[in-house]
Structure 1
């Protein structure tokens, strides 16, 4: 077994030996499930009023995409805490003693963040697609679960959540303070970026910049977004799904590289 494989295995043992992963997963399931049920009921009982601007057959993708639209912050927080938790509890030194090559440790955490993020994508889909599809069916709307494009959408949701987890690792390396990283994540994702994306709806030049924001890139990767449909009014062409994935992954890589070149190289105290 290679050094990286052993390091990844050690990371997974740490993840699944604590309560953090399943507590976040449980909250994620309830959060996106409630959001999907709420949107599903609105679209089901008032389709003409609520969904008048939606393309035909877009009700189900909109409901299912609530996993990323409202739940993407969970894998980001998990990824960040996989770094900052060890810094806070001073266990990172032990990790470096077991695996002296810090680059290997960081790579293992990146792989773990990506895979656990994808797991959160599956958990989120159990809430959004599972509960949401039931609501759509009960209100007479097509669930589109027999459509291959829907399953491609679900696959992109899992991929997007994985990349969000990877981005969280990058944030944790860049901002090793647990409180600082969580505050930065919540402030940007819940306040700064929504304001910027809303402002971008009123000017094409802002929209051209706004589509490269992390949330916009994530929405482009998935291909469906409550925010894009109901908050965006620009005629700017969005990124293709693969472009959105590359942009989102680029954020994770850039954050990780900057963090690896600065905070990750510091001596532990």
Structure 2
């Protein structure tokens, strides 16, 4: 029962703060604005956009803005679920209540998955709830009557859940709150986009680029600007959706495992 008690404690910590719903509101607005803008722009002038987007891929691309623009939110939340407790020394209380640190870490990992999935649903309320009417008003197909679209939406929720788990792993690996946030923002907003763009012009970089975290997340979802370029022959084809999911999960496990045998075992001061 210790694990379920620890998980209940983690959920209680989450809902007792404002961070989870503040990030959810920002996520919704950010994704909704991005979905509306992309849906309108590509519906009105796809030729001017210069992107080889098939008609039946526009709706998935708009709905996929949940992960394309919002995946950083569950990562940040997952990391803060660790680093905030380290910073404020409240992690010691959790260790006193549950002496086995592995149990505490497992509870935080599951909580990260749950919050990530919740953010996936919130993001879809923005991308589908706003993007679909924009597509319909522009004369485009919403594809909401297609079973493949609902599978796509399910994969988006799964991807956001895994991003939450990645965030927990990063928080364990880099317990400094400032250090982890800077690392997340620097890699997701600058380093990886540059690497993935460069990968389109060199085959050997493309093979490596397929296994970057963002590329794995895009492969799991199956709809992003990078997959459009890949489909047009710019670089190697992305991973299969299930391969992308496994690679993304592997990053979370790797970060968490390294952190578990290093920073997580240190004495708290």
After TM superposition, the score normalised by the length of structure 2 is 0.97
Alignment-derived partner of residue 253 in structure 2: 253
Once the two structures are TM-superposed, the CA of residue 46 in structure 1 deviates from its matched residue by 1.4
Structure 1 segment 211-230 matched on structure 2, within 5 A: 211-229=210-228
Per-residue CA deviation, residues 96-130 of structure 1 (Å, 9 max, x unaligned), is 00111000000000000001000000000000111
Count, aligned residues = 268
Q: 1:184-223 counterparts in 2 under 5 A?
A: 184-223=183-222
- Give the 3-state SS of the residue equivalent to 2:162 in structure 1: helix
Which consecutive residues of structure 1, in runs of 5 or more, have no partner in the other structure? Answer: none
| Contact preservation (8 Å) 2:199, 2:235 | no
Residue in 2 that maps onto 1:147? 146
The one-character-per-residue Cα deviations of 1:114-163 (angstroms, maximum 9, x if unpaired) are 01000000000000111000100111111000000000000000000000
Alignment check: 8 A CA contact 1:202 1:233 kept: no
- The answer as to whether partners of 1:207 and 1:234 remain within 8 angstroms in 2 is no
Question: In 2, Cα distance between the equivalents of 1:100 and 1:36?
Answer: 46
The list of structure 1 runs, each at least 4 consecutive aligned residues, that deviate by more than 2 angstroms after superposition, is 47-52, 226-235
Note the C-alpha offset of 1:236.
1.0
Shift of residue 205 of structure 1? 1.0
Return the alpha-carbon distance in structure 2 between the equivalents of residues 238 and 126 of structure 1: 27
Q: Deviations over 1:47-95 (max 9, x none)?
A: 3433751123011000000000010000000000000000011100011
Instruction: Let me know the Cα RMSD of the aligned residues.
Output: 1.3
Structure 2: how far apart are the matches of 1:228 and 1:70?
15
Question: What's the CA shift for 1:228?
Answer: 3.4
Contact 1:83–1:172 (CA<8 Å) still a contact in 2? yes
